[in-house]
Amino acid sequence: MLTFQVIGCASGMPHPKLAGSSYLVRQGGRLLLFDAGEGLSSALRRLDVDPRQIGTIFISHMHSDHFIGVPLFIQMNYLLERRQRLDIFLPAEAVGGMRRLLNLTYLFPHKLGFELELHKITRSFSLEMINLKVTPQANSHLQGHAKHLRGARLANKWECYSFVIESGGRKIVYSADLGDLDDLLPVLADTDLLVLDGMHVDLTQLPAVAVEHSVKRVLLTHLPEEFDFKKVKEHCRRQGLRQVYQAKEGLMVDI
């Protein structure tokens, strides 16, 4: 069985009570973290999640509200005398910069006391474990930055990924931030739980897309504080999509 737990679900604007985008997937005794926004480490403590049990982290893209919690998470594991290996998967463009950031924050790999490996996510990447598969799906969220990169001679390649998590015939799609709902169309069919960025897409299109692709449940996250969830839920209900929920810290969904 897969279990999805919300650790942080705030939008890009820091929230006074919520951590930024951070989500935990449990499969058997395995814990995988998807994104690591600001406040991740404090939220794990509030929710009584032992960070030493998280063996794998996936970072969707390098906006700070999705990755800035990584250094403090590593520091917390160091202070807790972690011994288990930690694997972090992040866009290929970011691996070198993450290594430099960890060195700048004095989190030297030889100091930590546990093995830490950084891995590149590419369009052809897929990770298969026993009874679990994680596949990235490139999306268009960062492509609007192209105009700022022209002629700037920067290494940025506007890499942003959604993730498909599959185990035992069950399927979760975590959208991360999107450019458009169309980004997900190739991977949506027969999804048991769609964890959807509700801030960057046209949610009036959601019911038709979800019904057409046999999406069973939708969890809306990354929502601005003024978001009117009741209005969106009623619109979805009228269009035939009844299983729509709003993310909250600590919420757990069994798949």
| 101-138 per-position pLDDT tens digit | 999 999 999 999 999 999 999 989 999 999 999 999 99
Q: Is 227 exposed, middle or buried (0-12, 13-18, 19+ CB in 10 A)?
A: middle
Residue predicted with more confidence, 183 or 146: 183
Give the per-residue pLDDT at 205: 96
In this prediction, residue 145 has a pLDDT band, given cuts at 50, 70 and 90, of: confident
Mean of the pLDDT values across residues 235-239?
96
The parent domain of residue 9 ranges over: 2-254
What pLDDT is recorded for position 1?
A: 83
Please state the domain count of the chain: 1
Half-sphere exposure of 58 (CA within 13 A, CB side): 27
Query: What integer pLDDT is reported at residue 143 of this predicted model?
Result: 87
Rounded to two decimals, the pTM is 0.96
What's residue 56's pLDDT? 98
Is the four-CA dihedral 38, 42, 46, 47 of positive or negative sign? positive
Q: Does residue 157 carry a pLDDT above 90?
A: no
Evaluated on CA atoms 17, 20, 26, 32, the torsion sign reads negative
Structure tokens given for 12: 């890009």
Query: How many Å apart are CA 133 and CA 99, to the nearest integer?
Result: 26
Distances (CA, A) of 178 to 14, 18, 113: 19, 21, 37
- pLDDT level of residue 154 (50, 70, 90 thresholds): confident
- The pLDDT assigned to 16 comes to 93
pLDDT at 153 over 90: no
The yes-or-no verdict on residue 147 having pLDDT over 80 is no
Nearest alpha-carbon partner for 66 in 22, 111, 5, 121 = 22
The pLDDT assigned to 221 comes to 98
Whole-number Å distance between alpha carbons of 129 and 189? 22
CATH number of the domain residue 8 falls in:
3.60.15.10
Strand partners, 138: 161
What pLDDT does 5 receive?
98
Mean pLDDT, all residues of the chain: 95
Q: Above 90 in pLDDT, residue 195?
A: yes
CA atoms within 13 A on the CB side of 145: 15
Distance CA 50, CA 193 (A): 25
d(CA 203, CA 196): 10
User: Beta-carbon neighbour count of residue 55 at 10 Å?
Assistant: 15
